[in-house]
Amino acid sequence: MSKLDKVTDNWANNASVRSWFPCFEEDPCLYDYPLSSLPEFEVDDNEGYEREKRSIATGLWIHYNWRTIQAEEQIAVPAISILCDFPYIRKEVKEGLLQTSVDEKFHTYCHTLAVNEAKERYNKEIDSIPSVTVREMKEKLSGETEEWKRNIVTVAYAAVAEVSINAFLEVLSRSLEIRVCNRTLVDKHNKDEAVHSLIFIEAVRDLIRYGSDDERVFLKESIMAAKDSFLKHDFGMYESVFSKHDLSVSFSKSSDSMSRNMKGVNRLLKTLDDEVTA
């Protein structure tokens, strides 16, 4: 039995949506978000920062969840729909993609519950600032007039999102600074994503194997662009939350706290290279 068959056969037993539901409980001793994980920064008012730390952590938690929802709804879910419509996607891959779609919708629901619960404890305005990744993907989509190219751009961004490993999720899911319910939500999501990585790799391999030469070339270009987007420093979320607490902050661009492991993406690019140059 292949790895793909194993994960699809075991989905009913292993997926979070089948066995878990979030329960958010107040804990006055713990924060919502691990401030120690922030990139190195300087703030203009240290006393103000110390005074507002709990509220800042809650604001960051709200923004983190909102951005997670945006990634699911604007990148992953549309890409799954596109992939399922490709005629040459293997039936077992399509089954895995449909399971992934259920997972992603459940993640959206859980992170929405997290946002709603945190908002009840947060008295600041929230700026809904899309991540640099979502912004750049939308820019690329707006620049393409052909539907097949727009589809491949969406798939490329989703593939990088699902196949790369976000080191920060591991930090968040293991942090003892934050509420157990918060880190459990991240941990459950992260474990689902580990399975999604395998499924997306197989789906992209089908695109590589059965797509046209033009599709393969454009897929490679799009994955490389998406990879660059995901590796960019994006401090907009942090700066917005600090500003709502009347604090000016500057972050070190040498920090690797938001790094991603791109080994899986690089392997896909190598496979594409081999096909394009064959």
* pLDDT of 204: 94
What's the angle, vertex CA 56, arms to CA 229 and CA 253, rounded to 5?
35
- pTM recorded for the entire structure: 0.94
CATH of the domain at 262: 1.10.620.20
Q: What is the pLDDT of residues 155-182, one digit of tens each?
A: 999 999 999 988 888 889 999 999 999 9
**CA–CA dist 95, 195 (Å, integer):** 13
Half-sphere CA count of 183, side-chain side, radius 13 A: 17
Whether 121 maps to a domain, the answer reads yes
- Residue 138 domain boundaries: 43-277
Q: What is the pLDDT of residues 45-100, one digit of tens each?
A: 999 999 999 999 999 999 999 999 999 999 999 999 999 999 999 999 999 999 99
Half-sphere CA count of 53, side-chain side, radius 13 A: 14
Whether 166 maps to a domain, the answer reads yes
Whether 37 maps to a domain, the answer reads no
Backbone CA torsion sign across 66, 18, 261, 153: negative
Best CA proximity match to 258, nearest among 14, 34, 7: 34
Whether 26 maps to a domain, the answer reads no
Backbone CA torsion sign across 144, 146, 150, 155: negative
Yes or no: say if 197 and 158 are a contact pair by the CB < 8 Å rule.
Answer: no
Whether 192 maps to a domain, the answer reads yes
Whether 109 maps to a domain, the answer reads yes
| Number of domain units in the chain | 1
Whether 9 maps to a domain, the answer reads no
How confident is residue 232, by pLDDT bands cut at 50, 70 and 90?
A: confident
Paired tokens of 143: 């620049």
Paired tokens of 88: 């040459």
Whether 5 maps to a domain, the answer reads no
